Amino acid sequence: MTMSSASPENVYLDNNATTRCDPDVVAAMLPFFTEQFGNASSMHAFGAEVGNAIGTARRALADLLGAEFDHEIVYTGGGTEADSTAILSALETQTGRNEIVTSAVEHPAVLTLVAHLEKTGRAKVHVIPVDAKGRLDMDAYRKALSERTAIVSIMWANNETGTIFPVEKLAEMAHGVGALFHTDAVQAVGKIPMDLKSTQIDMLSLSGHKLHGPKGIGALYVRKGVRLRPLIRGGHQERGRRAGTENAPAIIGLGKAAALAAAHMAEEQTRVKALRDRLEKGLLQRISHSFVTGDVDNRLPNTCNIAFEYIEGEAILLLMNREGIAASSGSACTSGSLEPSHVLRAMNVPYTAAHGAIRFSFSRENGDADVDRVIEAMPPIIERLRDMSPFWREREVRTAAFNPTYA
Ligand SMILES: *Cc1c(COP(=O)(O)O)cnc(C)c1O
């Protein structure tokens, strides 16, 4: 499907897929393409200026995370690279341990990697299930941990439902058996407050483009004292932990994005959350046989995932796009295939509902007019698709086994 580009009349509610780079971020980056183009490692003024700016950016990011030391931040080429670095490093540094514990609802950046490690015989993987609300099965988690566990990798917040995981507790439990604890916090950073120095989290992944920063830049937080084997070897950049000339403009953009996220954090919890809640309530009241997936009481303030039963998410998105409204079915990575999202399947959401799940994800750039537009546009779209759906006509028979909480 072809999407028209952003215009004032369009409504963008797909911020968990990517965010608009903040104009202040772009402004902060620009000088580092032209005037301040030096290589941060060079022994002259051109390099030193850039090196200093990178230092300031690193501090801003460390502050957003509540990290104790600036050098706990290692820049990467994005969230995916940070996840790979953490997991592959642990398999090398944790001698005598070859097991990985993760959850069934991780991002493909983790799940595809661990499946490959298992298939090639490099690791044994325990995939911990979740319940109908997407919450981790704590008993299964406890049982999977052992003196063979090299690393636990469990996300801070789920990208499709927004469900938040008790990562501080999970990290303590991992340390109880001597395992490292990594969290993919790509969706959580900038949306909920963090204070890493007061937790036992060893490593954390984040990505610039999910918090109004540039694409292709991310970072891995590595707690001081935790050994790291680099994924990419070469020069001595990032204290030998990630080789390759620093992407100075992107690093500086990410620093600016971090500072802006910290300044807007309270707004995320109040105004943005209120927009999300009003949309959710408005849709559930107007559209029958629809329900919210995920842990409603414990999720990101910007995310809601609504299952519209008996219709196809792809068809819904197509009609929404005609109205200039952008959202997502499950995750961008799963759309295009006929299988519903692995996250909703892990939660045992019936196929008839999982197929019609739409994720609406807000940012500080959304306003009341966006919510009004979507509340008005959705009911006729859903009605039109249900009129054409054979599953809708047979619906009574199919819901018997599942009891979602309707509005
Ligand atoms: C987007 C995302 C990633 C991947 O980050 P990139 O910077 O796009 O590589 C990883 N994990 C989660 C939870 C994400 O939402």
CA dihedral 197, 203, 209, 212 (to 10 degrees): -10
Average pLDDT over residues 298-306: 98
| Shared domain check, 388 and 241 | no
Q: Which atom, in ligand 1's list, is nearest to the CA of 16?
A: 15
Give the model confidence (pLDDT) of 182-216 as tens digits.
999 999 999 999 999 999 999 999 999 999 999 99
Q: Is 201 part of a structural domain of the chain?
A: yes
Ligand 1 atom 6, closest CA: 79
- Report the pLDDT value the prediction gives residue 397, as an integer from 0 to 100: 57
- Do 237 and 273 have their domain in common? no
Residue pLDDT, tens place only, 226-240: 999 999 999 999 999
Q: Clarify whether residues 274 and 171 are in a common domain.
A: no
Identify whether residues 315 and 236 lie together within a single domain: no
Q: Angle of helix 313-322 relative to helix 368-387, nearest 10 degrees? A: 130
Q: Report the atom number in ligand 1 closest to the C-alpha of 218.
A: 7
Q: What is the pLDDT of residue 339?
A: 80
Lowest mean pLDDT, pick from 6-20, 77-91, 280-294, 322-336: 322-336
Catalytic residue among 315, 333, 377, 407: 333
275 and 361 in a single domain? The answer is yes
Q: Are residues 64 and 176 in the same domain?
A: yes
Q: How far is CA 262 from CA 258, 269, 276, 355, in A?
A: 6, 12, 20, 36
Q: Specify the number of domains making up the chain.
A: 2
**401 C-alpha to ligand 1 centroid (Å):** 34
4 falls within a domain? no
| DSSP string over 321-338 | HHTTEE-BSS-TTTTTSS
Give percent above pLDDT 90 in the chain: 89
- In tens, the pLDDT along 142-163 reads 999 999 999 999 999 999 999 9
* Domain annotation covers residue 308: yes
Distance 383 CA to ligand 1 centre (A): 34
Residue 6 belongs to a domain: no
Q: What is the pLDDT of residue 2?
A: 46
Q: What does the pLDDT average to over 367-372?
A: 98
Do 169 and 276 sit in the same domain of this protein? no
Q: Which of 352, 351, 339, 359 is nearest to 389 (CA)?
A: 352
Domain presence at residue 35: yes
- The reply to whether 34 and 52 lie within a common domain is yes
Do 178 and 301 sit in the same domain of this protein? no
The predicted model gives 51-63 an average pLDDT of 97
Last residue of a domain, one of 263, 291, 308: 263
Could you tell me the end-to-end alpha-carbon distance of the chain, in angstroms, rounded to an integer? 32
Tell me the CA–centroid distance for residue 339 and ligand 1, in Å: 21
Residue 341: which pLDDT band, with cuts at 50, 70 and 90? very high
Q: Of 241, 263, 285, which one is at a domain's C-terminal end? A: 263
- Confidence (pLDDT) at 8: 60
Q: Which atom of ligand 1 is nearest to the CA of 78?
A: 7
Summarised one tens digit per residue, pLDDT across range 12-47 is 999 999 999 999 999 999 999 999 999 998 889 899
Domain contains 407:
no
Is 403's pLDDT higher than 50? yes
> Rounded to the nearest whole angstrom, what is the distance from the C-alpha of residue 384 to the centroid of ligand 1?
34
Q: The domain spanning residue 316 has which CATH number?
A: 3.90.1150.10
pLDDT > 50? residue 333: no
Cα(207) to ligand 1 centroid in Å equals 6
State which ligand 1 atom lies nearest to the alpha carbon of 208. 7
Tens of pLDDT, residues 95-111: 999 999 999 999 999 99
Q: Same domain for 243 and 272?
A: no
Q: What is the extent of the structural domain holding 298?
A: 11-16+265-402
CB under 6 Å to ligand 1: residues? 78-80, 107, 109, 155, 159, 184, 186-187, 207, 209-210, 218
* pTM across the whole model: 0.94
Residue 287 included in any domain: yes
User: How high does pLDDT run on average in the chain?
Assistant: 94
Say what the pLDDT of residue 393 is.
86
146 contacts: CB under 8 Å, gap ≥ 6 = 99, 177
Average pLDDT over residues 56-64: 98
What CATH number is attached to the domain comprising 216?
Answer: 3.40.640.10
Residue 283 and residue 360 in one domain: yes
What length is written for the chain? 407
Structure tokens, 100:
């990985």
**Chosen domain end from 232, 263, 294:** 263
The answer on 156 and 281 residing in a single domain is no
Is residue 333 part of the annotated active site? The answer reads yes
Strand partners, 325: 11
The CA distance from 347 to 357, in Å, is: 13
Residue 185 lies in a domain: yes
- CB 359 within 8 Å of CB 304: yes
